[in-house]
Structure 1
């Protein structure tokens, strides 16, 4: 005669577990689980739909187990569907050797990959005078989930899920990584417009470098004058032509550059050049004679600054 089936009961108050004979419900559930395992061994597809029906069949007409199979099977179908979707997205993502590069250039991205991205991104273009400097620190400062690539001697970071507070914090952290020796150009866009945001940030970077701006973080609002100067090719060419004759006079070119950097403060420019103020005034007269615009007048200063920007943009480009 076979031994009666037994099961572990729940822990007693004393913290010990005891054996007791299995009742009919225990045996019914064990038999049901055995039929479920057998059905699993016969399952020959990786599709999750239909699992609820298979499990209900294993219930063998038992209404209570059939309801358990229906509910449990539906939950299992949902779980496996979510798992497959994420696995598919991960596989598609792995095929992208440079997802950030595809996004910033507007190339096609698999729908399941696009669906898995954050709804909005901070696009950060970072450039150091030393091209190899600071990359690990930048990635750490940007936080988790960041997509990264390199373009035109700059690091491009796509930072997900931006909001006002997080943007301010990340901008501060990235700026600290620069340590005053690099530039950070920023834009924000929904994931569908990342390419447009990158184009804006790249323009900001180009204008910041061309305009001899000090290291720091910049947005399009910080370079509106430079952007206006360079937005029309014919205007840019004409402005560059104004300043071109000055390139043959190295001392005068340096003088105008230092004057612009000093925000047209002639006393400061003279100190920075280590020359007497009268010497500076003489050089400025020669600049006016060569270019046709007097750097000591408001109008002349505006045109010459714009001309220097146009020339620098052409050189950088």
Structure 2
């Protein structure tokens, strides 16, 4: 190593800091001192302090400018990532039970009405649903359904919201709801979703439903073995399209033979013949209370297995 051209440095001299290194070391010490005093949180404020620490040295000021731009780019990227992660689909994260940052969870309302909506025409009614749910509600889609997390402002707010949401359907859709604290929203979503599956599989008319409206179906189909056995009862009927459609119309008409015959555009005696054939295939008499209940539960179980 050489200092002045042609003159060798001693080992001790070679270890001494150069003037350039002295300036950088002094600058770093001033930066550390500024950092100990700084109480701000804005990048621009930090850049101003670092520029001040450069004390007019052009080379150090250039380092500050380059470093500050890199710092701001890095922090902007972090902020964009955080914002995207949080706002990408917050309702979807709640529905799926994904863990949320503590500050995001704390920012949620303490209690929500969870509404799972099946629209007869998916494109229709969305604007009305959003308006009724309010700007603080969270919306996502799951399995062809609209999912809403609506802040429950207080006692009585739930039923009123359910009534108004149901009115948005105009008799052409289904609404399943549950209510939960923010720590148990995924449980409420799962409950409302299962209620919706039971309602649709059971050919229930358009309207609003909660788990209390499907307690029998819920209890029967929750057990996997029972659900499998019930599906086996009804499955042979799938080979008879006309009989299946007849049973579906019979259930949909709330077991009224006159209504079912009208909906199928057939004579009452033709309906009676088909119901007898359904009994022959399944072993359950649709005209009896027990048989009708068994066949309805079997249809729901079969639909759940298929879905």
Paired with 1:205 and 1:104, the residues of 2 have a C-alpha distance of 15
Paired with 1:216 and 1:265, the residues of 2 have a C-alpha distance of 20
The answer as to 2:75 corresponding to 1:104 is no
Contact 1:92 1:113 (C-alpha < 8 Å) held by counterparts? no
The answer as to 2:260 corresponding to 1:266 is no
2:44: which partner in 1? none
Q: How does 1:5-24 map to 2 (within 5 A)?
A: none
2:286: which partner in 1? 295
Paired with 1:281 and 1:160, the residues of 2 have a C-alpha distance of 50
C-alpha deviations, 1:190-209, integer Å up to 9, x for none?
A: 00000110110111111111
C-alpha deviations, 1:5-51, integer Å up to 9, x for none?
A: xxxxxxxxxxxxxxxxxxxxxxxxxxxxxxxxxxxxxx73217xxxx
1:9: which partner in 2? none
SS in 1 for 2:156: helix
TM-score using structure 2 length: 0.71
Paired with 1:198 and 1:302, the residues of 2 have a C-alpha distance of 27
1:44: which partner in 2? 38
1:205 equivalent among 193, 196, 201: 196
SS in 2 for 1:164: coil
Contact 1:239 1:306 (C-alpha < 8 Å) held by counterparts? yes
2:115 equivalent among 84, 109, 124: 124
1:190 equivalent among 157, 171, 181: 181
CA RMSD of aligned residues (A): 2.3
**Unaligned ranges ≥5, structure 1:** 1-42, 48-88
Paired with 1:123 and 1:302, the residues of 2 have a C-alpha distance of 29
1:313: which partner in 2? 304
TM-score using structure 1 length: 0.68
**Unaligned ranges ≥5, structure 2:** 1-36, 42-78
Paired with 1:44 and 1:250, the residues of 2 have a C-alpha distance of 78
How many residue pairs end up in the alignment?
A: 234
